[in-house]
Structure 1
């Protein structure tokens, strides 16, 4: 009965043109003050998502949306603080790996029974997308994408090093070949082979995770931490060998690593799908050092292909369901975002709707055909309510290895002990 009442409330709001229902929306992705409402013209994550939100604000009758942008690095601390204070946004973005933590505490609304009333068809979501927003038999959000780590390639530097064949970059197939290719780039161009954020956000963690998964290993198995082992050491050493040979810089943060790549100072940048559209636009500018830009699947250095991946989704706090008009207004906002899945995919992210994935508009997006293998090798850690804390431990210990010289075996042993403590709680 509750769902029938909700559907009637939505119809009444649209027909009567009642006073606008304010919906607060919490997000990261960066700031964009001049996004406008044209969802086809904006460039980069921040402006593309804000243009979709602005369009929703303009087009949804009876709804006014207030955006609450937050820095990515502090986002979950602020969201948790807002929940603790009883003032979470009416709608907010989150990652799939955070669902066990939030839904497990009862903080998120199970929206499975209200999707049809809001005009959302979960049957159009891919199987993985549905799984991404599902927890304990319920649906706790609207999936927006799959995003993954890619290898962003400066083809001019690779060409100079003899690492281009048939118009595509030649990527390494082993840790030894990784070192060999890196030296070739250095010898030919004087530039580093690989850049990534090793000193700030957990991009380095994601690199190590991918290389562990390629060895059929993981950082925990059920309630048991599995970090102090040969697979983890192999993964870490594959990266530190580049630092030791001055073929990569471990002190670069996110902004610096990105700038080094755009300046033409690195042949490869390890970063996500979210920057493909932005880098394409930058490479077209004559003043930018990156000219010939290519996107590649994460290479397989060990036994089987794997790259870190996650999913962005939009959730509604469980407390919002107490106000049925606000709740359905929030769901209508999510439906609008779901309807614009192809516009969000312009960032470089992989779409989640079957109808979008099959469309010419999606398949013709720039560089899309260069990383078609990513979906098949996308991996993540097992679901855990302690994911955030586990990631923080790994980031700290890995940075201790490449920034302070902490021995690999000691760092992995310490990390395993801390992760085990988290899993035991």
Structure 2
């Protein structure tokens, strides 16, 4: 419990520093805030950031995110989602640390729990801000710990819920079911495997195409098996190899000595089959679901392998794994905490607040990602990159990196995008411009 509480505090400090310095990593936080806002008012998740009238249930299959609704209703802010994610990840830390201590002793278990809490996959997820996989991480931890404890019913239930977090996790559930069947020697494991495959097919072939504006699973084209077959060497691209090495390295290789390690294969498969390099490396949230797997595999190996029965050897391996996580921390998100003034600079805070204060409550706004997450709670937000946006009442854009940032450039560009409309600049400084529809 102590390890989990400390993890939650570290995660929360990091998120608060991001929030108060107006550090927004992507449009995901804004997207999921719009979803939570609709669920809080018992409405379908129509997310205008993705497109006019876009139902987010046609993007990824994540009905379990309806649980965000009550939290957002109580605390209507995008920041609420960051707190919820930190809490969910911290719950997984409690589950894994408690299990490690029970199996391996207080010191070794605490070392593994702390190493998991600081693992690069969780760090990258927190740095990326909210994503649906935040719900998958504790579910995986609960399921795998129950599986290793031979609490078959609990393992089955926790794993079964994963299919409602994201469609590809149905394949992970399939793998869990196979390991379940092998260890429990019961048909219920095969039933779990079938459940995972069934929901993967239903989600990708029926539900998502029915809800998606393009009448298809939006990410099917990224599973480029043909490209891999024609060029098998692409599997050994630098980012892919580095990710695989780090998954092993973070547990000092112990994860390889447990069949649970096989559970990483579905996630790595869809990532490495894609031709988008962003999926291959260690940034963003894509590796978060792999962290409970490799650490539970490592705990399983330490507990079951007779050659590791020595308490001193276990302690040495536990402290080594913790040192590895601490070493890697300097290369990932939490390394930014070493220089808060530089990495969470407050230089744009006054400008950001002034620009936001120019936009009244309840209006429609077209914007980039810069202040998107600070607008979604009180306005209807559209992303500037969409082609089907209606003419917004306000436009707010970051111009700090532009060389052509004349005081009325945003108003002029907006009038070009929406012929027949008139916009006037109502705020302009070196960082932002706000234009209002006349």
TM-score by length of 1: 0.20
Higher relative contact order (CA 8 A, sep 6+): 1
TM-score by length of 2: 0.20
Looking at secondary structure, tell me which structure has more helix per residue. 2
Looking at secondary structure, tell me which structure has more strand per residue. 1
